[in-house]
Amino acid sequence: MPSLARRVTGPPAAKLTRAWLAAAVLGVLAACGQVTHAQDRLSDEVQRVKTIDFTVADVDREASFFTKILQFEKIADFRLVGGEWGKLQGVFNASMRIVHLRLGDQIVELTQYVSPPAGRPIPVPSYSNDRWFQHMAIVVRDMDAAYKILQDNNVQQISAYPITIPPSNPGAAGIKAIKFHDPERHDLELIYFPSGKGDASCQASYPGARPDRPRAAAGRRIASDSV
């Protein structure tokens, strides 16, 4: 099966993520009257996005979806049990099974609460303007090939089909995207950047790109070079 992935992100890009985090922290400091030299302190405190984490009901089913369809690699499977972990999560007597999946240099973390197991599912219906909405996007080199993989595996789509941004929006014209669900209704996206749009490494013309090997990236950008 062709790979869908090489780079992962989560809303728009690493630069935007760092800017958002910096703005949020600056807002807190301003409220406390401590804005002076905040940039100097932030340079040491805010470094990078370590993982993207999804809480899941069935970690085996979710891991299978990510590895078999999206071509992630399973690199760790472990449990965390104990009072301190429960205090960290704000969940009394938490027992968690955690799976790490790698795509290039990025890690996606799947967390299943073995105890207590009664976490609420994602509400149905849910929409992109709901406040709990978040998603990870997967950058592909060939939208037609990547979309076929979704169809061949009967993946539940949010979008009716891949959408192309029209020339009336010159800054994004030619970008293609489609949103879909994983088995537990987490929102995911395929996105294609034509030459001259987005980061150069996300484009089909990037050196070493192969049309038969679409790769992943996404909205909170986390970079990777290999599949």
* pLDDT tens by residue, 162-174: 999 999 999 899 9
pLDDT band of 221, cuts 50, 70, 90: very low
The predicted-structure confidence for 169-198, as pLDDT tens digits, reads as follows 998 999 999 999 999 999 999 999 998 887
At residue 222, the 3 state secondary structure works out as: strand
What is the SS3 string spanning 99-114? EEEEECCEEEEEEEEE
Alpha carbon distance 19, 42 (integer Å): 11
Q: What pLDDT, on a 0 to 100 scale, did the predictor assign at position 41?
A: 57
What is the pLDDT averaged over residues 135-152? Answer: 90
Q: What pLDDT, on a 0 to 100 scale, did the predictor assign at position 201?
A: 65
Alpha carbon distance 156, 158 (integer Å): 7
**Which pair of tokens denotes residue 161?**
């089909």
pLDDT band of 212, cuts 50, 70, 90: very low
Report whether 91 contacts 113 (CB < 8 A).
Answer: yes
pTM across the whole model? 0.67
Q: Is the pLDDT of residue 227 over 60?
A: no
**Average pLDDT across the chain, whole number:** 74
What is the pLDDT averaged over residues 63-78? Answer: 94
The DSSP secondary structure of 133-196, one letter per residue, reads --EEEEE-S-HHHHHHHHHHTTPPBSSSS-EE--TTSTTTTT-EEEEEE-TT--EEEEEEB-TT
Q: What angle do CA 164, 167, 173 make, to 5 degrees?
A: 55
Q: What pLDDT, on a 0 to 100 scale, did the predictor assign at position 4?
A: 60
Alpha carbon distance 92, 98 (integer Å): 17
Alpha carbon distance 186, 10 (integer Å): 12
Of 150, 153, 154, nearest in space to 178 by CA: 150
Alpha carbon distance 85, 26 (integer Å): 29
Q: Is the pLDDT of residue 121 over 90?
A: no
Give Rg (Cα) of the chain. 19
Q: What angle do CA 155, 160, 166 make, to 5 degrees?
A: 130
The enclosing H or E element of 76 equals strand 73-81
Q: Is the pLDDT of residue 224 over 70?
A: no
Give me the count of residues in the chain: 227
For residues 59 and 134, the model is more confident at 59
Q: Is the pLDDT of residue 14 over 60?
A: no
